[in-house]
Amino acid sequence: MSTAPVGATLPGVAGEPRWRRDLALNLRATVARAYVRVIGSLREPTWVMLDAVFPNVGMCAFVLLYRALGAPREFEAVAVLGGILSTYWLNVLWGMGAQLFWEKQQGQLQLYFVAPCSRMAILTGMAIGGALMTTVRSIVGIALGLWVFHIHVAPVGLAELLGIFALTMIALYTVGMTLASLFLFFGREAWHLCNACTEPVYFLSGMYFPIRALGALGVAAAALIPLGLGVDAMRQALLGPGAHALLPLRLEVAALAAFGLLFFALARVALERLETLSKREGKLTQRSG
């Protein structure tokens, strides 16, 4: 008769530590959820238009606005970069934040909760898949910027650019994970909250203009929403002084890393607490239609 503590080993895999088994399970869940996100979004062509084309149409309007104002070309590049990154914010809001709300509406949310893996692993998979697909779709915006609006970017180290981009994505998608946890408790309000978090966040993040133009408000907003810092850091890396940056790049990079850690922890706590609360209030599987 075995004397090992209950749960210390996987039945049939003698000697394997529990942490290793859990890690393998959660990694598999992450990959599986990312796979569904990628394949699922490819299967619905209309979503490609929604994600790849429409955000860039708004970007075109702002580029033309700068032309109407007679602004230097660097401002057009500011708007183009903002437009490209707005695609990610839309994905964070609708693809991450509202995802558990959609699942609830379709009667699938309970499957998430009976699965043996961690809910954080599922959310991480959603984030990785979402970021991956949005990156593929952001090619439309990049193509528009380079070949239609002829924006010029400064020579930049690929490693530096990828590093800043990765930190921005981590910060953004951990916000999405936190929102997903919060929306667990919401019904129809989730939809309206997503709507309400689009243009106001664009304004506070300086999506189509240098956030520095907001002065103290810009600094305060950057301290709350990582999108503004991410956009500003990417602009600094690609446009140099033409970015009209808010803070030194090193500081923004450090802040983005801190945001990533903070929101990951926050998402974990929020998910646990709101799951309990939703169960207690009977809202976990309650459709809001």
The contact set with another protein (CB under 8 A) reads 46, 49-50, 53-55, 57-58, 60-62, 64-72, 75, 78, 105-106, 187-189, 192, 195-196, 198-200, 202-203, 206-210, 212-214, 244, 288-289
**Residue 189 or 272 having the CB closest to another protein:** 189
- Write down the least CB distance from residue 198 to another protein, Å: 7
CA distances from 101 to 38, 121, 190 (A): 19, 18, 7
Q: Is 57 helix (H, G, I), strand (E, B) or coil?
A: helix
- Write down the least CB distance from residue 274 to another protein, Å: 19
- Write down the least CB distance from residue 53 to another protein, Å: 8
Q: Where are the alpha helices (DSSP H) in the chain?
A: 18-43, 45-48, 54-69, 73-90, 99-105, 109-114, 119-137, 139-143, 158-183, 189-196, 199-204, 216-222, 226-239, 249-281
- Write down the least CB distance from residue 6 to another protein, Å: 41
- Write down the least CB distance from residue 250 to another protein, Å: 23
- Write down the least CB distance from residue 22 to another protein, Å: 33
What gap in Å lies between CA 92 and CA 123, rounded to an integer? Answer: 11
CA 95 from chain centre, in angstroms, equals 8
- Write down the least CB distance from residue 237 to another protein, Å: 19
- Write down the least CB distance from residue 172 to another protein, Å: 19
**Residue 170 or 246 having the CB closest to another protein:** 246
Q: Cβ-count burial of 50 within 10 angstroms (0-12 exposed, 13-18 middle, 19+ buried)?
A: middle
- Other beta carbons within 10 Å of 164: 21
**Residue 151 or 267 having the CB closest to another protein:** 151
**Residue 206 or 260 having the CB closest to another protein:** 206
What gap in Å lies between CA 259 and CA 98, rounded to an integer? Answer: 21
Let me know: does 96 contact 173? Beta carbons within 8 Å: yes
**Residue 55 or 129 having the CB closest to another protein:** 55
CA distances from 261 to 90, 141, 224, 234 (A): 21, 29, 14, 19
| Amino acid letter, residue 14 | A
Going by C-beta distance under 8 Å and a sequence separation of 6 or more, which residues neighbour residue 191? Answer: 98, 101
**Residue 145 or 260 having the CB closest to another protein:** 145
What gap in Å lies between CA 218 and CA 228, rounded to an integer? Answer: 8
**Residue 2 or 46 having the CB closest to another protein:** 46
What gap in Å lies between CA 280 and CA 289, rounded to an integer? Answer: 21
**Residue 11 or 289 having the CB closest to another protein:** 289
